[in-house]
Amino acid sequence: MKKIQMVDLKGQYSAIKEQVNASIQDVIEHTAFVNGPKVHEFQKHLETYLGVKHVIPCANGTDALQIAMMGLGLKPGDEVITADFTFAATVEVIALLNLTPVLVDVNSDDFNINVAAIEKAITPKTKAIVPVHLFGQCADMEAILALAKAHGLYVIEDNAQAIGANYTYKDGSKAKAGTLGDVGATSFFPSKNLGCYGDGGAIFTNNDALAHTIRGIVNHGMYERYHHDVVGVNSRLDSIQAAVLDAKLPKLDGYNAARQAAARKYTEAFKDVDQLVTPKRSNGCDGGICDTCDCHVFHQYTLRVTNGRRDALVAHLNEKNIPCGVYYPIPLHKQKAYADSRYNTADFPVTLQLVEEVIALPMHTELEDAQIEYITSTIIKFLNG
């Protein structure tokens, strides 16, 4: 059995080596290293794949979120509601722009932002909601969009973990994660579902005026050469990263299918284990194991260990050379940078429980059956022992 890795980028590369190498070589020959033709080609291909009018590539996913908020014209003091249980980048950019982050609790079954908690947190100062499509599936977007409409709020999707996932509306129609709200932001960090070989990100929108504003912001607020109409940033995708992404984009559905297949095997193996709660698929299918639905692209396969032995399990897996992760170990409202007397422990019962219970298992496109079998049997033996 090959050594088990949390993410196997080398294995994935060896299968696409020729395309990627040729594509990178092409960029070097043409020397348009930043925002060259490759970036434009990738942008167009991603627009088609997502079914969205505008993709604006940028330097990373954190910038993508920040630029989306700048593009919407959010102002210091505006309140922005997001999840307490997410990667810090989401709340970081809110704070950086001197907006007021308002953290709310999440759901215990799909780990996504809780709609009732959003509703409770809305004040006259609220300007936007940032649902994070955590671990690879959309938050309850139909309810969030309805709430936003009723209160005149923007919806900014943090789609760093769910590129390629479908969202199914109640009427059966589908849209790609990140294209449902006013604007979406994604990351092409190497370990994300569509990853480049460095940093990269993109912003998605169907709004022509917003797309125009954002295209200037990513390039120093410049709409005409050396005319700076707004304060912008330097956040561009470099052409070598675009070359990698353009070579990988046609494989994305296959990559996500490989993740889903691994997730199904995990869930099947754990179905009779009382101490484990397997991740629920909350949109577009009936939860649990599902063969036909693409609602969840499993950026992470995250379980809950409900008998208080999560940390012991982590230690045991480390001993057995099985990598695992705890995403995330500390609620954002308890992080030094974001703690605030506005927050009440009683408002975060689920997040406080999840940080004690979650464990993410190895998840990538190259997992072999023997590896999954070793991982699941090691876990089951430990929990029964």
Ligand X SMILES: *Cc1c(COP(=O)(O)O)cnc(C)c1O
Kindly list the residues in this chain that would bind ligand X in the complex (CB under 6 A): 60-62, 86-87, 89-90, 132, 158, 160-161, 187, 189, 199, 201
At its nearest, how many Å lie between ligand X and the CB of residue 182?
Answer: 17
At its nearest, how many Å lie between ligand X and the CB of residue 208?
Answer: 26
At its nearest, how many Å lie between ligand X and the CB of residue 287?
Answer: 23
How far, in Å, CA of 34 to CA of 228, rounded? 20
User: What 3-state class would DSSP assign to 174?
Assistant: strand
Question: Is the distance from CB of 34 to CB of 236 less than 8 angstroms?
Answer: yes
**CB nearer ligand X, residue 90 or residue 376:** 90
Q: Which positions ≥6 away from 308 have C-beta within 8 Å?
A: 356
**CB nearer ligand X, residue 275 or residue 362:** 362
**CB nearer ligand X, residue 87 or residue 348:** 87
How far, in Å, CA of 353 to CA of 10, rounded? 35
**CB nearer ligand X, residue 91 or residue 305:** 91
- Sign (positive or negative) of CA dihedral 306, 312, 316, 321: positive
**CB nearer ligand X, residue 79 or residue 158:** 158
How far, in Å, CA of 275 to CA of 260, rounded? 23
At its nearest, how many Å lie between ligand X and the CB of residue 195?
Answer: 9
At its nearest, how many Å lie between ligand X and the CB of residue 177?
Answer: 12
**CB nearer ligand X, residue 88 or residue 289:** 88
**CB nearer ligand X, residue 58 or residue 243:** 58
**Alpha-carbon radius of gyration of the chain:** 21
User: How crowded is the C-beta side of 326, counted as CA atoms within 13 Å?
Assistant: 18
**CB nearer ligand X, residue 135 or residue 154:** 135
Please give the residue whose beta carbon sits closest to ligand X in the complex: 61
At its nearest, how many Å lie between ligand X and the CB of residue 352?
Answer: 19
Helix ranges, the chain (H) = 9-30, 37-50, 61-71, 89-96, 115-121, 141-151, 208-217, 239-248, 252-269, 310-319, 349-357, 369-384
At its nearest, how many Å lie between ligand X and the CB of residue 315?
Answer: 25
At its nearest, how many Å lie between ligand X and the CB of residue 161?
Answer: 5
**CB nearer ligand X, residue 8 or residue 158:** 158
**CB nearer ligand X, residue 111 or residue 266:** 111
Among 150, 145, 131, 141, smallest CA distance to 295 is for: 141
At its nearest, how many Å lie between ligand X and the CB of residue 158?
Answer: 5
Q: Tell how far CA 229 is from the center of its chain.
A: 32
How far, in Å, CA of 46 to CA of 41, rounded? 9
Question: Is the distance from CB of 246 to CB of 23 less than 8 angstroms?
Answer: yes
At its nearest, how many Å lie between ligand X and the CB of residue 68?
Answer: 11
Question: Is the distance from CB of 21 to CB of 339 less than 8 angstroms?
Answer: no
Among 71, 63, 69, 72, smallest CA distance to 82 is for: 69
User: How crowded is the C-beta side of 343, counted as CA atoms within 13 Å?
Assistant: 22
